[in-house]
Chains A and B, each alone.
Chain A
Amino acid sequence: MSMNKILLSAIVALTISACTKNAGNVKLPKTEKLLVVQCILSPYDVRTTVSVDWSQDYFNNPNQNPISAVAKCVVLIASNDTTFTLTEKQAGVYSIDTTTMKVIPGQTYNLYVKEPGGKEARAVCTVPVISKSSLNFVSMDSQIVKIRGQEEKSFFMKCRLDDDGATKDFYTIYPVCYYGVWEYEYNQFGAIIDSSWTEQTQETYLDIEQKYVNDQDFNGQKKNMTFTFQDPNRWGGPGGPSPTVSRYDTLELLTIQCDEAYFKYHRSVESFSQNEGNPFAEPTFIYSNITGGIGIFAAYIQKRVLVKL
């Protein structure tokens, strides 16, 4: 056998020898199912809802169903010496009318959940006060770009975040554009017999670091930000751009001023969703502030900047 053949054989052997096997010997930390409690408080809601579920074992879940609602729980929210009992509207979903239990900025709420087996979960949150912080519109710019040979217009909204130095603030920013869609009704011969114009919304892409902002690096200062709104034809419909989509009519920046828990939870969920399965990304841990279980109990208030085009 020549030297070349030996070398070739060795390389082939090495290549095919990389092996995948079931990792039966990995010691996993012991866990049992966890009580999952999730509730977001907002003064803008008609009802405050708490969902209660059991988590499922990741590797030993025979039905592969992560949803396991927990019925017949005791769900209480206490604030200012008043305790409210939430009623179960459907299995695992408990709610209360916000006219009965008002969500008031600056007020602290205590959540208590007890499932029929006796396990308890607790959490506390304080609704943010309406601070002097504000996101202000500065100017608008636009640019024509070519997408597969077709011209499209992108808009750039420049804003300034004026942060209130007296408070530790957490912001979540949703840039939303409103655009019109013509919807047509056709007869049996394919002719248009009626048309209507409806307004639709689309949240535009923001990097996580720009969408979730806390003021620890600029407390009390002004922060300039630019938000890009791409042409609505980009998401004109399934299968590609649709000629039925008109240009934007309004751009909106919805600023959520939230407590730290809301900020951390949503940031972590978005990071988790974006990077699941990406071997080059650091693993994301979904934030939890529930004692005795996992989940979220947080609050926010919102402000908006609307720009008519």
Chain B
Amino acid sequence: MKYTLLFSLIISQFTAIAQIKNTVSGKVYEKGSREHLPNVNISVVGKNISTTSNAYGFYSITLPVGTYTLAFSFVGFGRVVDTVRLTKNIDLDVEMSGLTELKEVKVSGEKREKVSEQTQMSTINIPVQAVKDVPALLGEKDVLKVIQLMPGVQKGSEGQSGIYVRGGGPDQNLIILDDATVYNAFHLFGFFSLFNGDALKSIELIKGGFPARYGGRLSSVIDMQMKDGNKAKLKGEGGLGVIASRLVLEGPLLPKQLKHKSSFLVSGRSTYINLLMRPIIKAASQGLNDGGYNFFDLNAKLNYEIDKNNKVYLSGYFGRDKFFFQQNEPAPSKDYFRGGFLWGNATGTLRWNHKYDSKWFSNTSLIFSDYKFEVFAKLKVSTETFDLNFKSGIRDIGLKYDNDYFHSPEHHLKFGAVVTYHQFRPSAVVIKSSIDTSQNVREINTIKTYESGIYIEDLWKYSNKLKLNPGFRISTFSVGNITYVKPEPRISIAYTIKANLAVKASYAMMNQYLHLLSNSGIGLPTDLWVPATGKVKPMQSEQVAIGIAKDIDKPDLSITVEAYYKKMDKVLAYKEGASFLSLDAGPNNGNGSTNKSTWEDKVTQGQGWSYGAEFFVQKKVGQFTGWIGYTLSWTQLQFDELNFGKKYYARYDRRHDLSIVGMYKINKEWKISGTFIFGTGQAITLPLQVYPLQSHTPLDKNGQPINYWGSPIGQYQGLKNSARMEPYHRMDIGVQHTKKKKWGESTVEFSAYNVYSRWNPYFYYIGSDNTGKPTLQKVSLFPIVPTVTWNFKF
């Protein structure tokens, strides 16, 4: 009996080994434009086997010989079903039609991706269409502001695009555009992000359970892919807004016979605030003053399919912001003071997709990223001049190699490596003064560092109920003679309890070697990027999350409930009293050193804790779409050198954060949308008590007290951030009317930001009443802001 069992086992194993398997693989495209589609769900009908297309639309499924029906489904696209007879390896490229291409608003075959079927948790794919539909301040559609509406993501101040994910600071978000890191993602002092929604194909937000392929930041990954460009015909899209206009052009690059081989996309956006504001400023000062603001950005992308197995992409971004002002003395004086800020990003990515075989797909990227910030000022008094030029920036050159290996329906391996050369310029100061030559300074400090990482992860379907995504990353960072080597284990687990219901858990350790020194916390360009050094250690976080994912078929709803706990170490902050302006204070001693300290002396490191729960209900398909997100969270920080070493609530700690977003397509022409948000007020520090400060000044060599203080008045503020701003809440609405024209499509949108005109606080300051008594003053920016914008497509 014993031998019979053993024999049966051997036979069964042999059979399994001997079973011939073949692979069906290919790419999934959008019909018409031939844009490849990432994250498409491909399932084998009648079997519990499925996979998803990778970031370049490539998929692969290996199955025993037989005939199978494959179903391709993707949110916003009609379902495609195809039958294959798998007697050998098969290439099967599939085209899917977007719902807008179909005649009906609701398509019976439409199928959404189910959160209960995904291994990954804490991940949200932001529908690009939602970016276009959600009403926005001054009609400027903004990717980051839509991300702010997701649970677990807090915004900064009124109107700002800065984001805080699960208690992390704004520097803890890895913002990637076509594999290139974007360091400052904002225009207009943080009011608008620099991403043009018309040029984007996909937006993915990851808040926890980070796959091993991502690294370098503690709190989130925002991975955006630009459209490739329409391969079939020239198309355009654009809009005229109140403060800016934009245009996107895309089409085939090569002659007609090769039109499916290549395409291009160019997009541009520019503001005309300058044009409108300068005359007002000049008129208000009788021509003495001048000032203004400019921003623009350009995106471009080219791609060329060399053959079935090789494709190259070249993409780039270039954007600049400039704020300037000039104050002139009345004639005949020719004295003046002029100054301003200039900042911007430039990125470039050259990518090569290569298919080794039907299971193995790779992408190699050569990446360039450059961020610059500059403060300039010039003072002229009579014949004397004073020039100040302060520059800061970071430049990256990186090489990245990513692989997808679809080993079997049970194992989808991802592995690769990345190395990045960072050149930091925390501060470069040039001062030329004819008034006081002792002030002349020329210091340009650069720090060169190398960051690298290797990773492997497996999308592992252990059984029909249990899916895992274990991964491991090793990251290194070299600065000077110091090299940090940090292992980063990651795992995500999803267990299906029953159809449409899964429990999930994840753990991720992350390291961050780049820090942002920030006074404002609102994405001002004055925030400085600095590297980890021997003295300033890398930041590290560990995050665990558990959750439930539930899908409901009628009506189509996805519900997720997640709880998380994140511990952060070596979080960086300015010491008390420090700011970027004081980084290089102090007179020059003429010998290359001054009575001053470096940025490393101005900062301190501590720890942080964030924990909370997130509730997310989303309806992605149908005439009515939208979501409700609610976050209950706590975020605390502790630094030995701040707040007397005691824990305190972070400025962006929000106990309650609620977002309700709805979009309703009434018919082919009319669409309405609305949002409501509520958030606990920001934590702030305010003086509570005053008292006279006494000091005991030491005596000089003559026995006289030195360092005479006078009679300063001290303030007692309690603990740091112990006061709260008023709660923030606001409702926005929008109505879109679309008309088909001979030349294309015209959409007029009326939107109203802050419909009930609540005076939400932007910041507070201490003023005084007419008796001199201190009063707390609130500055609010936007009451109701109605806007009309015109968008078009051809």
Contacts and interface: CB of A to CB of B under 8 A. Distances in A.
The answer to whether A binds B is yes
Interface stretch (A83-91, A110-118, A186-194, A300-308): A300-308
B707 A148 contact: no
Interface string A141-153: 1010111100010
B606 interface: no
A304 B701 contact: yes
A29 B778 CA distance: 18
Interface in A281-305: 281-288, 294-296, 300, 302, 304
Contacts of A42: 696, 698
Contact of A228 (B436, B587, B783): B587
B91 interface: no
A309 interface: no
Contacts of A38: 693-694
Contacts of A178: 700-701
Contacts of B587: 154, 205, 228, 230
A275 B577 contact: yes
Nearest to B594: A228
Given A156-B589, A283-B717, A31 B689 contact: yes
Given A10-B242, A302-B698, A29 B777 contact: no
A156 B470 CA distance: 60
B702 interface: yes
Nearest to B520: A280
Interface size range on B against A: 35 or more
Contact of A280 (B579, B596, B788): B579
Contacts of A210: 586, 595-597
A58 B273 contact: no
Interface in B720-766: 720, 722-726, 759, 761, 764-765
B724 A27 contact: yes
Nearest to A151: B437
Contacts of B590: 141, 143, 145, 154, 156
B309 interface: no
Which of B587, B594, B704, B719 has the largest count of A CB atoms less than 10 A from its CB? Answer: B587
Contacts of B445: none
Given A53-B691, A208-B577, A282-B578, A269 B526 contact: no
A81 interface: no
Which of A20, A152, A199, A300 has the largest count of B CB atoms less than 10 A from its CB? Answer: A20
Interface stretch (B210-218, B494-502, B506-514, B568-576): B568-576
Contact of B781 (A18, A256, A279): A18
A34 B689 contact: yes
B438 interface: yes
A11 B723 contact: no
Interface string B614-656: 0000000000000000000000000000111000000000000
Interface stretch (B116-124, B412-420, B767-775): B767-775
Nearest to B242: A10
B82 interface: no
Contacts of A273: 709, 712
B526 A294 contact: no
A44 to B, nearest CB: 6
A308 B277 CA distance: 60
Given A55-B689, A141-B591, A282 B702 contact: no
Given A44-B699, A148-B384, A228-B589, A286 B726 contact: no
Interface in B503-532: 519-520, 526
B593 interface: yes
Contact of A201 (B601, B687, B704, B714): B704
Interface string A34-49: 1010101010110000
B280 interface: yes
A217 B772 CA distance: 46
A273 B715 CA distance: 10
Contact of B593 (A10, A226, A288): A226
A57 to B, nearest CB: 6
Contacts of B685: 283
Contacts of B707: 174, 203
Chain B, interface SS category: loop
A199 B700 CA distance: 12
B726 A36 contact: no
Contact of B691 (A17, A34, A306): A34
Contact of B694 (A23, A29, A51): A51
B702 A201 contact: yes
B376 to A, nearest CB: 17
Contacts of A207: 582, 585-586, 595-597
Chain A, interface SS category: mixed
Given A18-B781, A55-B689, A210-B595, A143 B589 contact: yes
Contacts of A286: 693, 714-716
Given A17-B783, A285-B717, A294-B691, A23 B436 contact: no
A53 B717 CA distance: 17
Nearest to A27: B724
A288 B588 CA distance: 34
Contact of A147 (B436, B582, B591): B436
Contact of B575 (A20, A44, A282): A282
B723 A66 contact: no
Contact of A227 (B436, B579, B595, B689): B595
B779 A272 contact: no
B688 interface: yes
A226 B759 contact: no
B467 to A, nearest CB: 46
Nearest to B714: A286
B390 to A, nearest CB: 13
A8 B436 CA distance: 44
Contact of A274 (B276, B577, B781): B577
Contacts of B526: 280
A209 interface: yes
A241 B526 CA distance: 36
B689 A285 contact: no
Nearest to B240: A3
A51 B783 CA distance: 50
Interface string A1-23: 00000111011101101111111
B695 interface: yes
B750 to A, nearest CB: 13
Nearest to A156: B589
A161 B764 CA distance: 44
A130 to B, nearest CB: 15
B555 interface: no
B722 A29 contact: yes
Nearest to A281: B579
A64 interface: yes
A138 interface: no
Interface in B449-469: none
A300 B696 CA distance: 10
Nearest to B573: A282
Contacts of B782: 14, 17
B577 A271 contact: yes
A266 interface: yes
A42 B695 CA distance: 12
Nearest to A224: B593
A8 B276 contact: yes
Contact of B713 (A57, A66, A208, A256): A66
A199 B703 CA distance: 13
Given A143-B589, A282-B519, A252 B700 contact: yes
10 contacts: A21-B777, A21-B778, A154-B438, A207-B582, A226-B589, A228-B589, A230-B438, A252-B700, A273-B712, A280-B519
The 5 A-B residue pairs whose C-beta atoms are closest, nearest first, are A271-B577, A40-B696, A209-B597, A23-B778, A143-B590
Interface of B: 138, 242-243, 272-273, 276-277, 280, 384, 434-438, 519-520, 526, 535, 573-582, 585-591, 593-597, 601-602, 642-644, 681, 685-696, 698-702, 704, 706-707, 709, 712-720, 722-726, 759, 761, 764-765, 767, 772-783, 785, 787-788
Given A42-B698, A141-B590, A283-B720, 5 more contacts: A19-B759, A23-B761, A201-B706, A206-B595, A294-B691
